[in-house]
Amino acid sequence: MPELPDVEIFSKNLNKVFAGRKLLKIKVVNGKKLPDTAKELTKNLEGKKLKRIYRSGKEMRFEFSDGTLVGLHLMLTGDIFIFEKKNDHHSTIVELYFEGDRNLALTDRMRNANIRLNPVDKEGVDALELDFKYLKTVFNRNATIKNILLDQDLIRGIGNGYSDEILWETQISPYSVASAIPDEKIKELVKAIPKVLKEATEKIDKAYPGRINDEVKEFLKIHRKTDKSPTGHTIHIDTKGSRKTYYTDEQVLYEAKA
């Protein structure tokens, strides 16, 4: 699933192409899992001018000039493509036709990617807007720190890959109990979280200008197919269900006091 850096880039590049254009037609190709009907989408969107596209957590937001908002969530396997007259992409969920010669197709082989009228953001604070007081509060529980970082109702924008990157950057074991994290480490996290995410965003933007789909993982230091960390330590991979956690023995395990 694309995380904050990728979605930030997708939104920025789509905004350059489509902001200011009128949505002429919306075609629902496979709406079985969409929360809104084709009729509702047509009624609320067609003929309206797109004001801007921006990121919200790990989702995109399409804001129209009359205030109507559309949320776009790529989920695990979704993609978005620009096409001209005809969409040749398989597994299409929705097609958006704009004035001019460029249109959008949302696809997903698993059919889980979706768009939603007037979405409500999760309650969590965006990962780029965290401060010590907030982190101290959300860490006051016995969940593992990685689970806290992944909980979009607490912190929005971080997924599996970048949670591992952030925890390696701060030398905290992903299996540490959140309430056991010392204040000095929380202060490090306040700085490390935006640093890791912004650096990744800048690298992706520079290496792949105009990108609007596919996660870029080549700039990850830990959560990738490599044996050693940048400091020469063995990278361990722990698989539980569909989630893989990457970490090294450098990272300190903070445990709850007995």
Q: What angle do CA 213, 217, 222 make, to 5 degrees?
A: 155
Residues 45-89 pLDDT 10s: 999 999 999 999 999 999 999 999 999 999 999 999 999 999 999
133 plus 93 within the same structural domain: no
Task: Evaluate whether residue 68 is within a structural domain.
Answer: yes
Domain assignment of residue 254, yes or no: no
Distance (Å, rounded) from C-alpha 218 to C-alpha 240?
A: 23
149 & 71 share domain: no
- Boundary residue ending a domain (94, 117, 140): 117
Q: Is residue 252 part of a domain?
A: no
Question: Which of 101, 117, 133 corresponds to the end of one domain?
Answer: 117
- Which pLDDT tens digit goes with each residue over 85-143? 999 999 999 999 999 989 999 999 999 999 999 999 988 999 999 999 999 999 999 99
Task: Assign 258 a pLDDT band (cuts: 50, 70, 90).
Answer: low
Element at 206 (helix H, strand E): helix 183-207
What residues contact 104, with CB distance under 8 A and at least 6 apart?
A: 14, 18, 80, 81, 82, 83, 95, 96, 98
Evaluate if residue 25 carries a pLDDT over 90: yes
Structurally, the chain folds into a number of domains equal to 2
Its domain, for residue 194, covers 125-247
| Lookup result for tokens 């361990």 | 236
Query: What confidence tens digit (pLDDT) does each residue in 154-199 have?
Result: 999 999 999 999 999 999 999 999 999 999 999 999 999 999 999 9
Q: Quick one: 35 and 84 in the same domain?
A: yes
8 and 75 together in one domain: yes
End of a domain among 98, 117, 136? 117
CATH number at residue 215: 1.10.8.50
The reply to whether 181 and 225 lie within a common domain is: yes
pLDDT digits (tens, 9 = 90+) for 211-255: 999 999 999 999 998 899 999 999 999 999 889 999 999 999 999
